[in-house]
Structure 1
């Protein structure tokens, strides 16, 4: 009898899997922090015999090489993938024995990458599930534009064919178990739901209900900006990542924090946005530990820039350090825990800025103040506050000079990105108000929304 355990990496919107039988198991697309995988295997009482990758990942650093080394497992990587380390190359149709009667069969499914491979889990020759990586996602497919711009359209067409191959060759009741699509920017569009089958995807997935021309046109038109740190993930994974180091970083005191700020380093406050707005170290940035920390910090920070973390507790710090290691920010330059008073030199007062709702904004709009929308292009396309300035959050740190003079009311869709933006503006000396509310309430507040191209 087989089992499948899911290992979620929620901050990045990804899943890894441990699957097998009574004695041995395979790990599909392991995360960087492999201790979670080892704990899952220990809980099951199984030995990891195989570690497999569906593709060379662009959105996180894999733990595959280290997991295979520690466990002695065979490390299976698509044969066409260009990598600098020893591995067992996998080609279409290859079958490996995982446990008594439990096998894993490779299916070439190019599209997300040229070498992408899905894996069909079978129990006594009956299909049990398919691990689709970045190919067939729940209600979507993996984006085809992460490898090389000149290949994007070709890969989009390959993605359509690969998904249709999965649908044609697997039973409708087959569970679809993707790596991406739970908030990952590797998904070509927003995915909904946490579980699906081949049959369910046949009924509603664009790749399975649209002809190839319609599918490719819509897919390419809907692609948004790629997180900047993706450019570093693929090469790191192809080279073979070093083992993760989660030991505690160097401790920073108030003087050290001040020196790092003066040197132009990034000091990141992990507290929630309410606490940060009420009082923080001048010049620090707010990336909430409970938000999409790894995605947005790695997206915005100049790659290789030293980062010092400020946390309320050792647990919060350790969790953040783990999340950042998953995207290649391996070692914080320093860290401190406690309260804002602990992080300030004697005689220095915390800096603060106000928070507001859309009703508060409506009470002064239109007026002399600036309204800054930091949502993505696709979000803004559905409607925006008339007269607002649009700079997506991932561009703001390079475009602070483009924000007009005056007090800035900054908003996003829910408050988290507005808090990041407010901290960036505040650190640059701007007078800022963070709108901490759902954009859905803007109309009820009486704010004029528009979709006009002439706004």
Structure 2
């Protein structure tokens, strides 16, 4: 028998390939899906089944593309309002054989209406479940978000409570295999660890400590989650079925002259925030490559043409892979030599940084002409904030910038300065002429108070 986790960094997406006696099943494949065929064939396995635990909101499913290459059957949960065009429906109690393994379906709505969990049984030792693919219902250290149906908020939170009890009933011995790990936008309190059991989660997962259904519902209703605009694209793509990812996940190389001439809607600099702040080409938005999954969907619209700027060709490939997995395919090319461009005399911009003392002085003296703009998430601001700071979540500046005065001065802050650089770069790209970054941000402010 064989079970392997395939992790997609950035998105913190976890998919799986499970095999026995020449057969294999894939659970929640990503769009660039060749890896599953490669792993299966290396072990002499034929992929016969592809399961989706739910309609993903944060990445495009690779199930249609993978099935086209291996003639596998795709199984998806039931949602009469949004039936998945490319899949057969799996219902509670359905069973599927993968060699010696038996996979059974549990309907586990709450995160989404179509959500299912897939329980693993070993027919040679069939005294309870060996494991369960929990999708976005149960994570290591957290449970799924329930904000996708705002008009049914209490109902779906209650449904998740019921679904979690189904999973807990499988027994403490069952290993859990979630669809995401720490860093995913699908949960905010996941453990760094990506392995656990039902028993360990029962004892240690804070959300599972809430024994009363009404209390659980109140807890979920109190959560604050953000939904990037690209989630709507993911919903459509994962109902209709999306084309396979480009075979080559690398942008067309651009010289500096070609970069200056290329027709694009957004220039995205994927270098680290410090490098961007020190010097970048005019008109660029800062989206560090490891932050693309969290923020690209706020600042890049479907169909927009994107030029990428990085330090290395490897970074360009990583950035493009992130974008393609989110359905943002229109990458017109990539340039990887900012320092050389600046050294050759090309025009460049920088974003100034300031420290705690300057922030404190401005709070005391410059309120009429200056704003300290906090771009952290609402729950962070609720926990600890600087009196006098305005708050707009970094992603929501994609539209909220139009409500700001471009003639005013802004210092942008977050927890450390990374999200602040993204936000400041967006404002600068929109013509805000006096923008700087609070270096260290809330971390530095808190340290200065100790």
The reply to whether TM is greater than 0.5 is yes
- Secondary structure of 1:49 counterpart: strand
**Corresponding position: 1:338 with 2:328:** no
CA contact (8 A) 1:185 1:227 kept: no
Match of 1:389 in 2: 390
Output the aligned Cα RMSD: 2.4
Q: How far did residue 365 of structure 1 move? A: 4.8
**Corresponding position: 1:442 with 2:445:** yes
Q: How far did residue 79 of structure 1 move? A: 4.1
Q: How far did residue 361 of structure 1 move? A: 3.6
CA contact (8 A) 2:28 2:63 kept: yes
Match of 1:272 in 2: 272
Match of 2:178 in 1: 178
CA contact (8 A) 2:251 2:317 kept: no
- How many Å separate the matches in 2 of 1:232 and 1:206? 30
- How many Å separate the matches in 1 of 2:443 and 2:432? 30
- How many Å separate the matches in 2 of 1:197 and 1:357? 45
- Secondary structure of 1:400 counterpart: helix
Q: How far did residue 201 of structure 1 move? A: 2.1
Within the candidate set 412, 415, 423, 2:414 is matched to 412
Aligned length: 438
Q: After superposition, where does 1:71-220 map in structure 2 within 5 Å? A: 71-80=70-79, 82-83=82-83, 85-99=85-99, 101-124=100-123, 125-126=126-127, 127-146=129-148, 148-168=149-169, 170-187=170-187, 189-194=188-193, 195-203=195-203, 204-207=205-208, 209-220=210-221
- Secondary structure of 1:19 counterpart: strand
CA contact (8 A) 1:19 1:25 kept: yes
- Secondary structure of 1:142 counterpart: coil
Q: Which runs of 5+ in 2 are unaligned?
A: none
Q: How far did residue 139 of structure 1 move? A: 2.7
CA contact (8 A) 2:181 2:192 kept: no
Q: How far did residue 267 of structure 1 move? A: 0.4
CA contact (8 A) 2:264 2:305 kept: no
- Secondary structure of 1:294 counterpart: helix
Q: Residues 93 and 180 from structure 1, CA distance in 2 versus in 1: closer, same or farther, beyond 3 angstroms?
A: same
**Corresponding position: 1:40 with 2:39:** yes
Q: Which runs of 5+ in 1 are unaligned?
A: 448-455
Q: How far did residue 65 of structure 1 move? A: 1.0
Q: Residues 439 and 43 from structure 1, CA distance in 2 versus in 1: closer, same or farther, beyond 3 angstroms?
A: farther
- Secondary structure of 2:222 counterpart: helix
Offset from partner CA, 1:22-60 (integer Å, 9 cap, x none): 532211101111123233334444322211111111111
Farther-moved stretch of structure 1 (301-310 vs 236-245): 301-310
- How many Å separate the matches in 2 of 1:111 and 1:53? 15
CA contact (8 A) 2:363 2:388 kept: no
- How many Å separate the matches in 2 of 1:277 and 1:79? 48
CA contact (8 A) 2:144 2:186 kept: yes
- How many Å separate the matches in 1 of 2:29 and 2:5? 11
- Secondary structure of 2:93 counterpart: coil
**Corresponding position: 1:315 with 2:314:** yes
Farther-moved stretch of structure 1 (321-330 vs 437-446): 437-446
**TM value normalised by structure 2:** 0.90
Farther-moved stretch of structure 1 (347-356 vs 126-135): 347-356
**TM value normalised by structure 1:** 0.89
- Secondary structure of 2:134 counterpart: strand
- How many Å separate the matches in 2 of 1:21 and 1:60? 28
Farther-moved stretch of structure 1 (303-312 vs 59-68): 303-312
Offset from partner CA, 1:389-416 (integer Å, 9 cap, x none): 2111012232335446544221111222
